[in-house]
């Protein structure tokens, strides 16, 4: 528990700073908690349901979720990927965090290894640990892309899964189709070499938030033992509602046994089922997304200013994070420095990548604009330009 989460720690520091100086004087870029309200379609659909409630709409349903919702998710994924999924491939979950725990509980035996690429979403380590797994952390290159040569060396007989997260938290990196293809080939090769099965777990809550006209390349095309875990926390701006799902590749080996295991673990880990009302609502919103243009404008604004101030930043292609190099080797010291100017960010070591810091720009424009003064002061102090 001592390690805690740097994200939550910064969040709590922020609460204190806001109490002291007033919320309007603190520029909080620490949490992936969109200030954007859910899309109008969400409000409309929720209102419709509340005004015309379905009988029993707050009751238990099958642990996998409502068949209509699972069918709607399957239809949308089929449309996006061109791969035919059905409701039998879908389990509705309490967010992507719930989905990840369910998958790991289902597939891991004590001591199995799960490969991550740094920087990574820090909770992965807790989730792996919850279910007796061992996290194996591999490096990315200077563009934050997984190093496949390192992966080739690292995969062994104990490797049960590889987790990827594109668009990435904390870097905003979006993996190319070519990269995922090579990753899939490598997994096949290693599976054949060791006679094992390796799951590719694709954590993709930011799938619909990609910029510059990029098209999201689904890992489903590149590995049959792929499991998608995701949520509507970001694409519908509903992080507090804990509504997400997992999807199993329809051609996954022992698919039925796997899905039954996932449903069982969804039940016995105490989730029981994804929240009922939200399942009803998102059923009709599979094609709806928050304004990606707005996020892209925020990215452009912040990226241009930071680069102009001398910060070294890999331009994000998706999600709503930026992961600049820390001007100080000690990223915690730099984040504390920014706090002096009432700008809240998260040190890179919170993501297994010291020497960087994370900016979350899913905030209103005033907060972004207000943060520039602090970034400028820090840049001057450390002679960035």
Interface contacts to a copy of itself, rule CB under 8 A: 1, 4-5, 8, 31, 33-35, 37-38, 43, 46-47, 50-51, 53, 55-61, 63, 94-95, 97-102, 105, 123, 126-127, 130, 237-242, 260-261, 264, 267-278
SS (H, E, C) 96-108: HHHHHHHHHHHHC
Burial of 383: CB neighbours in 10 Å, binned 0-12, 13-18, 19+: exposed
CB of 225 to a copy of itself, least distance (A): 20
CB of 264 to a copy of itself, least distance (A): 5
285 or 378: whose CB is closer to a copy of itself?
Answer: 285
Q: Which residues contact 218 (CB under 8 A, 6 or more apart)?
A: 80, 81, 83, 202, 228
190 or 242: whose CB is closer to a copy of itself?
Answer: 242
48 or 340: whose CB is closer to a copy of itself?
Answer: 48
238 or 368: whose CB is closer to a copy of itself?
Answer: 238
223 or 234: whose CB is closer to a copy of itself?
Answer: 234
203 or 337: whose CB is closer to a copy of itself?
Answer: 203
Question: By the 8 A CB rule, do 61 and 273 touch?
Answer: yes
CB of 157 to a copy of itself, least distance (A): 24
Question: By the 8 A CB rule, do 367 and 375 touch?
Answer: no
CB of 236 to a copy of itself, least distance (A): 8
Question: By the 8 A CB rule, do 30 and 11 touch?
Answer: yes
- Which secondary structure element, helix H or strand E, spans residue 6, and what is its range? helix 6-21
4 or 366: whose CB is closer to a copy of itself?
Answer: 4
CB of 52 to a copy of itself, least distance (A): 11
Crossing angle (nearest 10°) for helices 95-107 and 123-130: 40
Q: How far is CA 281 from CA 44, 64, 83, 232, in A?
A: 10, 16, 25, 11
Q: Which residues contact 147 (CB under 8 A, 6 or more apart)?
A: 117, 138, 139, 140, 141
Conformational region of residue 223, where left means phi above 0, alpha means psi within -120 to 50, and beta covers everything else: beta
Decide: helix, strand or coil at residue 352.
coil
CB of 298 to a copy of itself, least distance (A): 17
CB of 310 to a copy of itself, least distance (A): 33
């Amino acid at each position: 528990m001592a390690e805690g989460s740097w994200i939550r720690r910064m969040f709590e520091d922020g609460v204190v700073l806001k109490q002291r100086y007033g919320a309007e004087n603190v520029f909080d870029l620490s949490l992936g908690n969109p200030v954007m309200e859910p899309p109008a379609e969400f409000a409309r659909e929720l209102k419709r349901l509340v005004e015309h409630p379905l009988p029993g709409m707050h009751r238990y349903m099958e642990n996998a979720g409502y068949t209509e919702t699972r069918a709607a998710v399957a239809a949308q994924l089929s449309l996006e990927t061109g791969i035919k999924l059905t409701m039998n491939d879908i389990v509705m979950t309490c967010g992507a965090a719930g989905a990840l725990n369910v998958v790991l509980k289902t597939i891991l035996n004590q001591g199995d290894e799960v490969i991550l690429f740094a920087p990574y979403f820090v909770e992965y380590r807790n989730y792996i640990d919850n279910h007796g797994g061992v996290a194996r952390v591999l490096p990315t290159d200077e563009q934050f892309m997984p190093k496949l040569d390192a992966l080739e060396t690292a995969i062994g007989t104990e490797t049960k899964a590889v987790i990827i997260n594109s668009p990435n938290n904390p870097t905003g990196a979006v993996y190319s189709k070519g990269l995922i293809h090579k990753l899939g080939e490598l997994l096949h090769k290693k599976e054949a070499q060791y006679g094992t099965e390796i799951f590719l777990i694709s954590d993709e809550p930011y799938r619909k938030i990609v910029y510059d006209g990029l098209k999201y390349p689904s890992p489903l095309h590149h590995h049959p033992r792929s499991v998608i875990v995701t949520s509507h926390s970001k694409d519908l701006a509903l992080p507090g509602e804990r509504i997400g799902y997992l999807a199993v590749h329809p051609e996954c080996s022992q698919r039925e046994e796997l899905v039954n295991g996932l449903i069982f673990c969804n039940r016995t880990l105490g989730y029981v089922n994804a929240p009922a009302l939200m399942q009803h609502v998102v059923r009709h919103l599979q094609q709806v997304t928050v304004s990606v243009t707005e996020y892209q404008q925020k990215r452009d604004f912040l990226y241009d200013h930071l680069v102009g101030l001398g910060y070294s930043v890999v331009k994000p292609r998706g999600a709503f994070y930026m992961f600049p190099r820390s001007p100080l080797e000690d990223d915690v010291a730099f984040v504390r420095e920014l706090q002096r100017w009432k700008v809240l960010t998260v040190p890179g070591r919170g993501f297994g990548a010291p020497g960087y810091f994370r900016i979350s720009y899913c905030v209103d424009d005033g907060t972004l604009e207000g943060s520039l003064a602090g970034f400028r002061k820090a840049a001057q102090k450390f002679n960035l330009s």
